[in-house]
Amino acid sequence: MRTFFTSLWGKLAIGGVIVVVAAILPLLNIHIPGVLPGPTYTAGAMSMLAYAFLIAALALSYHLIFGVAGMLSFGHAMFFAAGAYGLAILLGLLAPSGMPPTVVFLISIVLTLVLALVLGGLVGALALRVTGISFAMVTLAFAQAANVLIRRNTGGLTGGEEGVRITTEVVPEFFVGVVNTRNLYWLALGILVLVYLACLWVERSRLGHVVAASRENELRVTVLGLRPYTVRLFVFIAAAVLGSVAGMGFMLLQSGATPRISTADFTLTLLVIVVLGGLGYRWGAIVGGIVYTILDQRLADLASAAWIHDLPDVLRIPLSEPLFILGMLFVLVVMFAPGGIVGLSHRITKRRGGKQDVAQPEALQDVEA
């Protein structure tokens, strides 16, 4: 039984059960005080959970770049913004074309994916010419340039500092309005499942083994006659496209976006999420994304609680700042649980089973085989 649950099919079965439970949450009356703003069937709770799913999907796409390929990117939020802004701009441009709304909606989605693919290919082809901190700086430069273009309302399309709104007239009715929050919740859950399966396929493929091996020993992979640059570029583009899918879901959920989602700070948030959940673990990105989002949303309520204001200044001032609490949580995880939340649970499980952690270089053996 233990062997089944630790196998790929066992993990997928567990994941399937979790997805089913998540799918029926909007049909239940479950209230978790301090975590959800109301019962699970309410629009507020579903909207927050949907947003958490989308951030988890975005963190999963960043996991491909950072956790699998070992590339520290400071510009991944650019692809999330490309998905959100690209969909909104294309819907606005194609709406007056006279085509049926459903056709406009589908064409906009396809063109946005093409945009993300081209943008990912362009940025990746240039950034991957260098490695290490130089790679991080190149991605940061692209992200800053994209943020400047968005803030300056280039071509009158991005809305500048005020952001852009979606043209709801060409969006399917079941995705518009508060009354359809349940459908948007299921859409966000579907995007998370899609991104997870895509990441699983990439990691389990021969290409995924090669890029993981390149992270461990690039010279050895090159000697075997393989090209680390090519596989890294593929992973980079795949992560860009998946990040844009999460961005499109965000635009449909929020009905608008601001330049904040294209900043390097937002990418740093993804880095914190991946490390918090567990670097190198797919479930770590999901857990980290959901936990971080819920904390980010709910700590503001905690900070304004009456009992916080009654504390002495030495405690009241820091505890009234949500970012301080999140920062301290991150420091504690890094110090006492280097593998993140999921990594800690894995260590506890292996310790109970009498097993020892196995080093990552097994990817090299898979490539050589």
Distance CA 138, CA 109 (A): 28
The predicted pLDDT at position 350 comes to: 67
208-219: buried (b, 16+ CB within 10 Å) or exposed (e) per residue?
Answer: bbbbbbbbbebe
Q: Between 81 and 264, whose confidence is greater?
A: 81
Q: Which of 64, 72, 37 is nearest to 51 (CA)?
A: 37
Confidence category of residue 308, pLDDT binned at 50, 70, 90: confident
Lowest mean pLDDT among 143-147, 182-186, 218-222, 286-290: 218-222
Q: What is the mean pLDDT of residues 303-324?
A: 74
pLDDT digits (tens, 9 = 90+) for 211-244: 888 888 777 777 777 788 889 999 999 999 999 9
Token output for 121:
């290919």
pLDDT digits (tens, 9 = 90+) for 236-294: 999 999 999 999 999 999 999 999 999 988 998 899 899 888 888 888 899 999 989 88
Strands 256-257 and 164-165 come out as: antiparallel
Place of tokens 């049909």: 27
Distance CA 88, CA 165 (A): 7
Q: Which segments of the chain does DSSP mark as H helices, in order?
A: 2-6, 8-24, 43-63, 77-94, 101-127, 132-151, 181-204, 206-216, 218-223, 228-254, 264-277, 282-303, 306-309, 313-319, 322-336, 340-353, 362-368
The predicted pLDDT at position 366 comes to: 55
Which residues, 6+ apart, have CB-to-CB distance to 298 below 8 Å? 34, 35, 37
Confidence category of residue 361, pLDDT binned at 50, 70, 90: very low
Q: What is the mean pLDDT of residues 354-368?
A: 47
Question: Which one-letter DSSP state was computed for residue 166?
Answer: -
The predicted pLDDT at position 363 comes to: 55
Confidence category of residue 1, pLDDT binned at 50, 70, 90: low
- The rounded Cα 234 to chain-centroid distance in angstroms is 18
Compute the mean pLDDT over every residue in the chain, rounded to the nearest whole number: 85
Domains in the chain: boundaries: 45-299
Angstrom CA distances, 69 to 5, 112, 279, stand at: 27, 25, 12
The predicted pLDDT at position 2 comes to: 56
The predicted pLDDT at position 358 comes to: 37
Phi, psi of 257 (to 5 degrees): -155, 155
Contact present, 300 and 322 (Cβ < 8 Å): yes
Contact present, 85 and 150 (Cβ < 8 Å): yes
The predicted pLDDT at position 349 comes to: 67
Q: Which of 270, 249, 237, 277 is nearest to 190 (CA)?
A: 249
Judged by DSSP in three states, 165 sits in: strand
Beta-carbon count within 10 A of 301 CB: 11
The predicted pLDDT at position 355 comes to: 45
pLDDT at 359 over 50: no
pLDDT at 357 over 70: no
Q: What is the mean pLDDT of residues 363-368?
A: 52
Lowest mean pLDDT among 25-39, 195-209, 262-276: 25-39
Distance CA 21, CA 98 (A): 41
Whether pTM exceeds 0.85: yes
For domain 45-299, the CATH class is mainly alpha
Which residues, 6+ apart, have CB-to-CB distance to 7 below 8 Å? none
The predicted pLDDT at position 356 comes to: 41
